[in-house]
Amino acid sequence: MTEALLEFQDVTKSFGGVIAVNNNTFQVEKGKVVALIGPNGAGKTSTFNCITGMYTPDAGEVRYNGEKINHLKPHKIAKLGIARTFQNLQIFTNLSVLENVMVAAKETRKPNVLSSMLRLPGIRADEERARKLALDMLELVGLTDRAQVLANDLSFGEQRLLEVARALALRPKLLLLDEPLSGLSREEVNGMVALIQKLKKDGLTIFLIEHDLSTVMEISDHIIVLDFGSKIAEGKPDEVRSNERVIEAYLGRDVKKQYEVPESKREDREPILTLKDIHTYRSTIHALKGVDLQIDKGSLVAVIGANGAGKSTLLGTIAGQYSPKQGTIFFENKAMEKLPAEIVSRMGINLVPERRGMFAELTVEESIRLGAYPRLDSLLIPANEKRRIEEEMEQMYQLFPRLKERRRQLAGTLSGGEQQMLAIVRGLMAHPRVLLLDEPSLGLAPLIVEEIFDRLYQLKQSDMTIILVEQNAKAALQIADYAYVLENGRIKLEGLPQHLLQDSRIRDAYLSSH
Amino acid sequence: MERIVQVHKPAAIGMKRWGLVVLGVIGAAALPLLVNSYLTSVLVIIGIYCITTVGVSLLMGFAGLVSLAQAAFWGVGAYATGVMAVSFGISPWLGIVLGVLLSGLLAFGLGWITRNLNGHYFSLATLGFGIVLNIVLIEESEWTGGSSGLSGIPGLSFGSISLSGDTAWYYFVWAIVLLCLFLCRNLVHSGWGRNLRSMHASQAASESMGIHTGRYRLQAFVISALFTGLSGGLYACYMSFISPAVFNFDMSIKFVIMAVLGGLVSIWGSLVGVVVVTLLVEALRQYVPVILQDSSSGGAIEVIFFGVLLVAIMVYLPNGIMGMFQKRKSNMRVNAK
């Protein structure tokens, strides 16, 4: 019997009427890798926040090494040896990679102001020790050669690694990882998994939140499952996998959705959007290097590819956010590559951005109504138009009933999945001719991803044109009519989804186990 | 494009840069011999302002806090020195030290009370403090001389040698400015400065890495008030006359503009901002009456001018003058590749 490093006893935390953590009791044993899984909004990150002192539990006890830590401030808890990473990266973007890690070093945590002003030898020695430690941590995660780069300029995957290096520089006994694999490419996932396994071997206790279940099953000793704030199951990976309640709440019934797949590209369709030799620069990066694309009216086109392939830049270029240096974009035979974003949006090309762009202080209903404004000429809405908006909102609620239940809730308090639904609905309210979706499945639980993709399929059936950018290639290819594979700013492959699904190159790069 | 961050290692400054520094020091030392005494006095005032803006840019650029109470701390330094000298005959040297401490103490109190306020709320609280303090300066006329001001503040002297004349003041004040810049530069490039900047980027992450952000915030606020108090004390002794009108809200804004115009990316930005703003104001004073054929010194014009200037900075130079230079430098590096 190993001893518990972290104990949760009857911990409850609620916000207003919403219970984020509901009377939970569990333990994290020393030296183990423990995973916390559950649908979006299940209270996983809230649980982490109760451990790190960002939230103070309303009731119950959080014990670390047998010591009660409920009422300690975050920095005190960090000093005890609990380090964390963040789901939505919290990199110090104004510091270099090395400096980011140095912040966590104990040696320079509380330097004397006067000695720092005078650069006394003691201060310089501490600084040197912190630098050494930080370099060691960077080496551990494989970012040594990026040490002097501004942290903001790292790729997404590198920033995730940086967060881990920074947390390790605290020399923690307990490491909390909040969705460390989310948004990583397959290759990056493998690197992170190897790192986690190495840390475990070195004796570190790891408690992690993750949606990538196959990886969770592979690396965890113990899994705790949450739903609506309550623990619904825990145990070894195999036990959890076969638990009825877990399957119902999280994985969904194992009924493979059957989507109708097109046999060939339909010839009767006319192109609505055509890109020819598009080159786009983001600051000085040549992000798109001559992209040709043809989108037929009423089709759902998937664009897949790894992080940094240029997928978001592609959507941004179509939406008029970035103006291409070279090439043309035709929208119904009108050149539009020089038009600014607001005009493009009024023409009926609407982008649902990657991070959803919520207005946290508006209610769900207000947010949806806001979506209708781009198509109106004035803010004085005639009565018949008002009625139509109400009718459409009702349709939207039918599409996503969850949103109806939450219509009076502030958008900022929705779970990730609900925010994604709201973002899609908001885009639809503008009556788009072409809907651009950037990573709608990012950071969402499998069941919700399925629900959202189901709706996208429904929209496609109602003859909407959709461009879907996704890392979750498997899911995207299931509902698409046609697909493009983007790599390093170029179209590497294109074709019918069922052909791509069988292509070994695609399978190796994007589909394995995800 | 990746931006390579310069490693802050003062010892690693290249020979070329040292050459520039030496040239700059020689040039600055020769300056009072080349210009008339009016310009020399402007340069003294620039130096005094600089001591304040060093603190302001530490607070704004590195801690991300906008204080609108700097003129009040400046006033505390000035009036503490002035009142003690005039009413109690205390040596202005001691007066300056006490003024600095009093500024710091008030900042500590204000910083403690406002420790949970962020962003605009903090700025508004400091604005309120500034206004209240200005009223105190006007109303406590028994000590402060009220709105007609406090005159007869003695100058400074080293033993029997008194600091008289603009040239002597120039050397004295600028020696202090350089010392302040040196101390502040070391501070922001130390682990302390790094932790402060980390808090500016993400308070949540900073706390989670064991940084007591509240402590850093308070320290930064107190340090900026200490510098500002020193600047105020020197101002009182140099001018020998002070009045509440100088230490009002407009002045707080002016300090903020100086820091922003210079650029918050570097401590040197505060120096650049003060020079540019002060010279512009002096030019305004000289030429506005000529253009408008008005005998007034152009007070209203000055307000309009600063409004326009602030808008222009925000639109065209969000990183200030120093930021512009840094950008050009990094662009050149990219082109050279």
ipTM for the predicted complex comes to: 0.85
Q: For residue A513, what pLDDT band results from cuts at 50, 70 and 90?
A: very low
Pairing of strands A349-352, A434-438: parallel
Residues of B in contact with A113 (CB under 8 A): 187, 192, 219, 223
A113-122, A170-179, A351-360, B98-107 — which is least confidently predicted? Answer: A351-360
Choice among B54-58, B84-88, B316-320 with the minimum mean pLDDT: B316-320
Of A303, A319, A289, A263, the C-alpha closest to A439 is: A303
Closest CA–CA distance from residue A261 to any residue of chain B (Å): 41
User: Does A126 contact B191 at a Cβ distance shorter than 8 Å?
Assistant: yes
- Residue A92 near chain B (CB below 8 Å): yes
**Structure-model confidence comparison of residues B160 and A376, the more confident one:** B160
Lowest mean pLDDT among A430-444, B187-201, B209-223: A430-444
Q: H or E element: which one contains A494?
A: strand A490-495
Q: What percent of chain B has pLDDT over 90?
A: 55
Q: Answer whether B187 touches A (CB < 8 Å).
A: yes
Q: What is the pLDDT of residue A114?
A: 93
H-helix or E-strand spanning residue B241: strand B241-242
Q: How confident is the model at residue A333 (pLDDT cuts 50, 70, 90)?
A: confident
Q: Could you tell me the residue ranges of all domains in chain A?
A: 1-81+172-251, 91-171, 269-511
What confidence tier does A126 reach under pLDDT thresholds 50, 70, 90? Answer: very high
pLDDT for A510 equals 61
What was the pLDDT predicted at B11? 45
User: Could you tell me if A150 lies within 8 Å of chain B, comparing CB atoms?
Assistant: yes
More confident residue, A153 or A373: A153
**Which of A52, A116, A149 is nearest residue B208 as measured by Cβ atoms?**
A52
A49, A117, A177, A284, best to mutate vs chain B, most B CBs in 10 Å: A117
Q: What is the mean pLDDT of residues A409-420?
A: 80
In this predicted structure, the answer to whether residue A254 has a pLDDT above a threshold of 60 is no
pLDDT at A503: 78
Does the pLDDT of residue A88 top 80, yes or no? yes
| Contact status of A78 with chain B (Cβ, < 8 Å) | yes
SS (H, E, C) A157-184: HHHHHHHHHHHHCCCCCEEEEECCCCCC
Partners of residue A143 in chain B, C-beta under 8 Å: none
Residues B307-322, mean pLDDT to the nearest whole number = 83
pLDDT at B71: 96
Interchain pair B187, A113: CB under 8 A? yes
Q: Which CATH class is domain B35-336?
A: mainly alpha
Sign of the CA dihedral with A75 first, then A77, A80, and A82 last: negative
Instruction: Write out pLDDT tens, residues A16-69.
Output: 667 889 999 999 999 999 999 987 778 898 999 999 999 999 999 999 999 999
Q: How confident is the model at residue B173 (pLDDT cuts 50, 70, 90)?
A: very high
d(CA B68, CA B250): 9
Two structure tokens written together for B209: 């890495």
pLDDT of residue B188: 92
Segment (H or E) for A482: strand A482-487
What's the rounded mean pLDDT across residues B264-271?
84
Confidence (pLDDT) at B291: 65
Q: Do domains A1-81+172-251 and A269-511 have the same CATH topology?
A: yes
Tokens of B243: 């009045």
Q: Give the A:B interface size as CB pairs under 8 Å.
A: 133
Question: What mean pLDDT is predicted for residues A431-444?
Answer: 85
Rounded to a whole number of angstroms, the distance from the CA of B25 to the nearest CA of chain A is 21
CATH architecture group of domain A269-511: 3-Layer(aba) Sandwich (3.40)
Terminal-residue alpha carbon distance, chain B? 11
- In this prediction, residues A239-254 reach a mean pLDDT of 72
Mean pLDDT of chain A: 86
Cα–Cα distance for residue pair A232/B67, rounded to 1 Å = 50
pLDDT of residue A33: 96
Average pLDDT over residues B233-241: 95
- In this prediction, residues A331-344 reach a mean pLDDT of 87
Amino acid B226 reads L
Q: How far is CA A106 from the centre of its chain?
A: 31
Tell me whether residues B202 and A91 touch, CB distance under 8 A: yes
Q: Which of A90, A110, A149 sits opposite B4 (nearest CB)?
A: A149
Q: Is B12 on the interface with A (CB under 8 A)?
A: no
Query: What's this model's pTM, rounded to 2 decimal places?
Result: 0.77
The tokens for B11 are 């010892």
Q: What residue of B is the nearest CA neighbor of A120?
A: B186
Handedness of CA B121, B126, B127, B132 (dihedral sign): positive
Q: Is A130 on the interface with B (CB under 8 A)?
A: yes
pLDDT score at B169: 94
B159 φ, ψ (degrees, to nearest 5): 60, -120
Average pLDDT over residues A316-344: 88
pLDDT band at A409 (very low <50, low <70, confident <90, very high): confident
Residue B10's pLDDT band, with cuts at 50, 70 and 90, is very low
Over residues A182-194, the mean pLDDT reads 86
pLDDT digits (tens, 9 = 90+) for A289-313: 889 999 998 889 999 887 778 888 8
Position B113 confidence tier, pLDDT thresholds 50, 70, 90: very high
Q: Is it the case that residue B201 has pLDDT exceeding 70?
A: yes
Is B333 a residue whose pLDDT tops 50?
A: no
β partners of residue A37? A225
Provide the β-strand partners of residue A291. Answer: A278
Euclidean distance between CA atoms B58 and B192, whole angstroms: 12
**What is the average pLDDT score of chain B?**
86
Write down the pLDDT at residue B337.
Answer: 37
Give pLDDT tens digits for A499-511. Answer: 887 777 776 666 5
| Residues B97-110: tens digit of each pLDDT | 999 999 999 999 99
Lowest mean pLDDT among A100-114, A120-134, A178-192, A245-259: A245-259
Give the closest residue to A313 by CA, choosing from A348, A288, A342: A288
Q: What is the DSSP letter of A508?
A: I
Give the model's pLDDT for residue B9: 46
Q: What is the 3-state secondary structure (H, E, C) of A250-295?
A: HHCCCCCCCCCCCCCCCCCCCEEEEEEEEEEEECCEEEEEEEEEEE
pLDDT tens for residues A270-281? 888 999 999 998
Say if the Cβ atoms of A109 and B193 lie within 8 Å.
no
At A378 the pLDDT is: 67
Residue B336: predicted pLDDT: 42
Q: Which residue of A has its CA nearest to B198?
A: A92
Lowest-confidence segment of A367-376, A421-430, A464-473, B242-251 by average pLDDT: A367-376
Question: Do residues B257 and B278 make contact, with C-beta atoms less than 8 angstroms apart?
Answer: no
pLDDT > 90: percent of chain A: 41
In the CATH scheme, what is the homologous superfamily, with its name and number, of domain A1-81+172-251? Answer: P-loop containing nucleotide triphosphate hydrolases (3.40.50.300)
Residues of A in contact with B193 (CB under 8 A): 116
Tell which A residues from 279 to 318 touch B, by Cβ distance under 8 Å.
283-285
pLDDT at B4: 62
Partner A contacted by B202 (CB < 8 A): yes
Q: Is the pLDDT score of A447 beyond 80? A: no
Answer yes or no: is pLDDT of A7 > 50: yes
Q: Is B229 on the interface with A (CB under 8 A)?
A: no
- The backbone torsions φ and ψ at residue A35, rounded to the nearest 5 degrees and listed phi first, read -110, 145
* Identity of the residue in A74, A127, A153 whose CB atom sits nearest the CB atom of B191: A127
Task: Say if CB A21 and CB A13 are below 8 A apart.
Answer: yes
* Under 8 Å between Cβ of B87 and B148: no
The position carrying tokens 């962003």 is B119
